[in-house]
Amino acid sequence: MIKVYNTLSRKKEIFKPREGNRVKIFVCGLTVYDNSHIGHARTYISFDVIARYLKYQGYSVFYLQNITDIDDKIINRAIETGEDPLHLARKFEEKYIQDMKSLAVENVNLYARATEHIPEIIKQIGTLLEKGFAYETDSGVYFDESRYPDFGKLSNRKIEDLNVHRINPDTNKRNPGDFALWKKKNEKPYWDSPWGPGRPGWHIEDTAITEEYFGPQYDIHGGGLDLIFPHHEAEIAQMESASGKKPMVRYWMHTGFLNVLGEKMSKSLGNFITIKDLLKECPPEVFRFFVLSTHYRSPIDFSQEILEQSRSGLKRIYKHIETIEELMESDIPETSSKDEEHEKLLRETRKNFQEAMDNDFNTPFAISSLFDFIREINRDINDSNISKNTLNDIKIFIKEIGNILGFEFVLSKSHDDVADELVDILTSIRGKLRQRKDYELSDEIRSKLNDLNIVIEDRKN
């Protein structure tokens, strides 16, 4: 039984999809005007693991993401660089997809571009106008906040409180909180609409896209915490008004912030880290492990120090796998008197792992159950109290966990390791040749390794 913390109800609820075994998840995608950063990586790794665990539990998952490829940010950036806005958007979309691939974020079924859903957007705006939830002005079409009294229910704010703080209210709008569904524009890129040429507002693409692929109601809507207000509030207002059906979404899930050294990541602070830059220094699985070592709703503080902890945590798991692999090839018995005990331990670990994941996808607890297990088993390995049968079961279990968390826990010696060991042999032979003063052969080894770009340095001592 999976429990999910629902931002809307502010409590954990039992997870039950609307349509039997099928789960429809929508997560807000990127506005593709720049490289994606490690805050995005945190959100998308989190939802990748959520999708993986739902599949592991037998659900069929349809995970949809939009791509915001038309937006003021994109247009402004394109003006700066002199590029075509849609071309610029495609370029950063491609980089984004590449970044996700590098991070093993691979469970999104469909990426839907805003610009390719203009007819759906226009249709939904038309419905909102028809039903009186929106109005047209000289500058565009706006959603009338006052017609949707529930506005603020997700972020727990009241419309009155919201509006008090607005300065420079747009006199074009009926209420200060009204937001644009369609912006009338004559500069490219624009699209034709019943209200003249223009561009969609930011909020409407998501509900037009989810209505097209999921219908007016679905299971999970996810995104970063910073999107709750006003973006997700606006989505609810649009969709529930247009369809007349409530709730638009059963479970609202939000990932916590990722800070850098205690501060919000921002270009002006100079602590803005792109995924591409991160991966120059850090293997993708170390960053994934770092992300999953904190619960998805909690804030994460990014620092080299904590990244190092993740690196050594992950290393412990790989070390364990290596030990098992070596033992499997050695002369240990097929069965042992402790088999039953180990089976029980495995069963309990699997149970603890699943209980943690069932509890609002608590990955840090799940991971710690794996570490507890490794500690216990290592004791018996050291005492030579383990059988091949058990080792085999452990291998299967670790592979299972790898699938859920998104790690390729490789269980056989990699080619790199073999090459490393071969270099070690050559270096040791070369040392002995130098002791024998056979400089001809020792120099031959050095020069041939050099040809392979492997450099040997001789130092005193």
Binding flag, residue 421, a copy of itself (CB under 8 A): yes
Interface residue with a copy of itself among 97, 225, 346, 426 (CB under 8 A) is: 426
How is residue 397 written in tokens?
């279990």
End-to-end CA distance of the chain: 62
The least CB distance from residue 418 to a copy of itself, in Å, is 5
Place of tokens 């999921």: 214
Q: Residue 382 and residue 327: Cα distance in Å, rounded?
A: 11
Q: Any contact of residue 245 with a copy of itself (CB under 8 A)?
A: no
Say which DSSP state 231 is in.
I
Q: Does 436 bind a copy of itself (CB under 8 A)?
A: yes
* Contact stretch for a copy of itself (CB under 8 A) within 6-14, 133-141, 198-206, 410-418: 410-418
| Binding to a copy of itself in span 293-332, by CB under 8 A | none
Site for a copy of itself in 53-72 (CB under 8 A): 60, 62
DSSP-derived 3-state class of residue 188: coil
Interface with a copy of itself by CB under 8 A: which range of 299-307, 385-393, 395-403, 422-430? Answer: 422-430
Pick one of 12, 19, 304, 347: the residue that binds a copy of itself (CB under 8 A).
Answer: 19
Cα distance between residue 412 and residue 141, in whole Å: 60
Q: Whole-angstrom Cα distance, residue 329 to residue 388?
A: 9
Neighbours of 386 (CB within 10 A): 23
Interface region with a copy of itself, contact rule CB under 8 A, candidates 72-80, 225-233, 370-378, 426-434: 426-434
Q: Between 329 and 383, whose beta carbon lies closer to a copy of itself?
A: 329
Nearest of 98, 84, 108 to residue 33 by alpha carbon: 84
Q: Give the span between the Cα atoms of 300 and 258, in whole angstroms.
A: 5
Provide the CB-side half-sphere exposure for 2 (13 A, CA): 20
List the Cα angle 320/326/330 in 5-degree steps: 140
Is the Cβ of residue 65 or residue 349 nearer to a copy of itself in the bound state? 65
What's the gap between Cα 297 and its chain centre? 13
Contacts of 422 (CB under 8 A, 6+ apart): none
The distance of closest approach from Cβ of residue 333 to a copy of itself in the complex, given in angstroms and rounded to an integer, is 22
Q: How many residues bind a copy of itself (CB under 8 A)?
A: 35
* C-alpha to C-alpha distance for 110 and 236, rounded to whole angstroms: 22
- Selected binder of a copy of itself within 10, 267, 415, 460 (CB under 8 A): 415
CB 222 within 8 A of CB 92: no
| Signed CA dihedral, 346, 347, 352, 354: sign only | positive
Contact call for residues 4 and 251 (beta carbons, < 8 A)? yes
Residue 262 CB contacts under 8 Å (≥ 6 apart), including other chains:
301
- H helix runs in 359-387, sequence order: 363-382
Binding-site string for a copy of itself from residue 24 to residue 43, where x marks contact by CB under 8 A and - marks none: --------------------
* Helices 388-405 and 38-56, axial angle in degrees (round to 10): 130
- Give CA–CA dist 6/181, Å, rounded: 27
- Of the pair 187, 444, the CB lying nearest a copy of itself is at 444
**Candidates 131-139, 160-168, 365-373, 436-444; binding stretch for a copy of itself (CB under 8 A):** 436-444
- Binding mask 110-149 vs a copy of itself (x if CB under 8 A, - otherwise)? xxxx--x--x------------------------------
With contacts defined by CB under 8 A, name the span among 129-137, 249-257, 375-383, 440-448 that binds a copy of itself.
Answer: 440-448
**Across 32-137, where does the E strand assignment appear?**
60-67, 110-113, 134-136
Q: How far apart are CA 226 and CA 37, in angstroms?
A: 15
Single out the residue of 414, 278, 393, 284 nearest to residue 346, CA to CA.
393
With respect to a copy of itself, which residue has the nearer C-beta, 117 or 221? 117
Span interacting with a copy of itself, options 135-143, 163-171, 259-267, 419-427, rule CB under 8 A: 419-427
Which residue in 273, 279, 445, 456 binds a copy of itself (CB under 8 A)? Answer: 445
Closer Cβ to a copy of itself, 54 or 291, answer by number: 54
| Residue 449 found at the interface with a copy of itself (CB under 8 A) | yes
For the bound state, the minimum distance from the C-beta of residue 426 to a copy of itself, rounded and expressed in Å, comes to 6
User: Which segment (181-189, 267-275, 282-290, 428-436) binds a copy of itself by CB under 8 A?
Assistant: 428-436
What binding mask, one character per residue, do residues 186-225 give for a copy of itself by CB under 8 A, x or -?
A: ---------------------------x------------
Please identify, using beta-carbon distances, which residue of 396 and 419 lies nearer to a copy of itself. 419
| Residue 416 is a binding residue for a copy of itself (CB under 8 A) | yes
CB atoms within 10 A of CB 137: 16
Which residues in this chain contact a copy of itself in the complex, by CB under 8 A? 19-22, 60, 62, 109-113, 116, 119, 213, 414-416, 418-419, 421-423, 425-426, 429, 432-433, 436, 438, 441, 444-445, 448-449, 452
